[in-house]
Structure 1
Amino acid sequence: MTKGARQYGGLPADQRRSERRDQLLNAAFEVMAVDGAGGLTIRNVAKEAGLSTRFVYESFTDLDDLVGAAFELAFRQLSNTVGDAAATAPQDRRAKVTAVLEAMVDFFLDAPAKGKLLSTKGYGHPAVAERRLARSEDVSRAFGGILRQLVPDREADDPAIDLTARFLVGAFGDTITAWIEQSLPYPRDKFIHDNVELFLGTITALARL
């Protein structure tokens, strides 16, 4: 242990702060899941975490900082989940697209508050507006990488691949938002099947661009 570092309950202070930060982020998701965006306040998050509000301000500047951190955490978790699915799926076009969409859909089902926070229209907090725009660029680039594997006959820098990736990511973002908000009355398996067909049809159309 570094000289001068203090321990509480057998844990270094830095580790306790890190654990409290994680505890508060998880509490924020719980509050959103139960009370929606309107219920997300410093006081409610602290209460859900079983902590004093002073610990919120120890980890976050304000509510915007907390919400922004929650968004980034949810995005990393979704990215890791989808990335693992894409990496382990067979190179077959249908299998790869199905694995990616299944991973995304199941993430949204298992963690609806995180899904709403990440979705284009499901959560309009200003603290995540710029982050959502930046991360949508990240998602488009990532899916562009998957497309390049699925259409190896195209040049890697073909702008039509980026166009198709943006088209699919943008369309699916709006579609899954509507679905988790129950504007589209689809059961899970049918939702995945129909979206896979739309993705495959669009990828096939890429050959004509």
Structure 2
Amino acid sequence: MVKQARTYGGVSADQRRATRREQLLEAAFEVMALDGLGGLTIRTVAKQAGLSTRFVYESFTDLDDLVVAAFELAFRQMAATVDTAVAATGPDRRDKVSALVEALADFFLNAPAKGKLLSTKAYGHPAVAARRLARSEDVSRTYGALLHGLLADRTPDDPAIDLAARFLVGGFGETTTAWIQQSLPYPRDKFIHDNVELFLATIAAVERL
């Protein structure tokens, strides 16, 4: 006989576990914001979340599993932010590029711990290395789709589109990483403006290829 999970206050056991998991992931980002990835442990995450360590192990196999889950959550949040911003614009090339760059810049600026975990220079944790590579491919495809939408005369398998998308992923990823780590001293508006110009220049270059 299968034992039924209890419901308290109209909230099922599965819902409570899902809520705790989300709470623990956000706590992990808060720890990283204060102490960096090196300060992340099962105990520090549990303490930040105000939960027992047993709840951490209820949701995650170990610390590596938690870090990977945090990476995936940050990526989903970033992608949703960008998709929403770009979808809200019209067909104008500058408007679409500006929406993309501004959304990404503000995500990294407003959530620096998430940005650093996602950034191209945050290779220190082996558990997220493969995920970062896979998600970089996802971002390349997103950029490629944007370029195809702005360059409607190009064929779906045009290698120049793929080349430019990867160029933009690497270049913008590196500059954004340097920016949030404060090794690239740029005011927000100037950073967005100049990166928009670099994106547009790259798109114009593709038209000549």
Encode CA deviations 1:75-134: one digit per residue, 9 max, x unaligned: 000000101111111211111100000000000111110000100113521111110000
Which position in structure 2 is the counterpart of 1:152?
A: 152
* Deviation of 1:4 (Å): 2.4
The CA deviation at 1:156 is 2.0
Matched, 1:127 2:127: yes
- 8 Å CA contact 1:28, 1:45 repeated in 2: yes
In the TM superposition, what are the counterparts of 1:81-160 in structure 2 within 5 Å? 81-122=81-122, 124-160=124-160
Amino acid in the other structure paired with 2:126: P
Q: 1:163-178, aligned counterparts within 5 Å?
A: 163-178=163-178
User: Counterpart in 1 of 2:65?
Assistant: 65
Note if contact 1:37-1:123 (Cα within 8 Å) is conserved in structure 2: no
Taking the aligned partners of 1:72 and 1:97, their CA distance within structure 2 comes to: 24
Deviation at 1:11, TM superposition (A): 2.2
Taking the aligned partners of 2:133 and 2:79, their CA distance within structure 1 comes to 15
Counterpart mapping for 1:179-190 below 5 A: 179-190=179-190
Give the counterpart letter for 2:141 in structure 1.
Answer: R
**SS class of match (1:7):** coil
Q: Is the 8 A contact 1:97 1:196 kept in 2?
A: yes
Deviates more, 1:187-196 or 1:84-93: 84-93
- For residues 3 and 62 of structure 1, the distance between their equivalents in structure 2, rounded to whole angstroms, comes to 27
C-alpha separation in 1, matches of 2:84 and 2:188: 21
Matches of 1:113 and 1:75, distance apart in 2: 12
Displacement of 1:9 after TM fit?
5.0
Task: Could you list the structure 1 runs, at least 4 aligned residues long, displaced by more than 2 angstroms after superposition.
Answer: 2-5, 7-11
Distance 1:84 1:48 in 2: 31
Which piece of structure 1 moves more, 54-63 or 4-13? 4-13
Q: Distance in 2 between matches of 1:36 and 1:13?
A: 32
Alignment of 1:34-49 (within 5 A): 34-49=34-49
Structure 1's unaligned 5+ residue stretches are: none
CA RMSD in angstroms comes to: 1.4
Matched pairs, number? 208
Point out the more displaced range, 27-36 or 7-16: 7-16
Distance 2:70 2:3 in 1: 33
TM-score normalised by the chain length of structure 2? 0.96
Secondary structure at the residue paired with 1:108? Answer: helix
Letter in 2 for 1:12: S
Question: Which sections of structure 2, spanning at least 5 residues, go unmatched?
Answer: none
1:53 corresponds to which residue? 53
Equivalent-residue separation in structure 2 for 1:199 and 1:111 (angstroms): 23
> Structure 1 length as normaliser, TM-score?
0.96
* Distance across 2 between alignment mates of 1:199 and 1:24: 37
Supply the AA of the counterpart residue of 1:96.
K
Amino acid at match of 2:32: M
Letter in 1 for 2:101: L
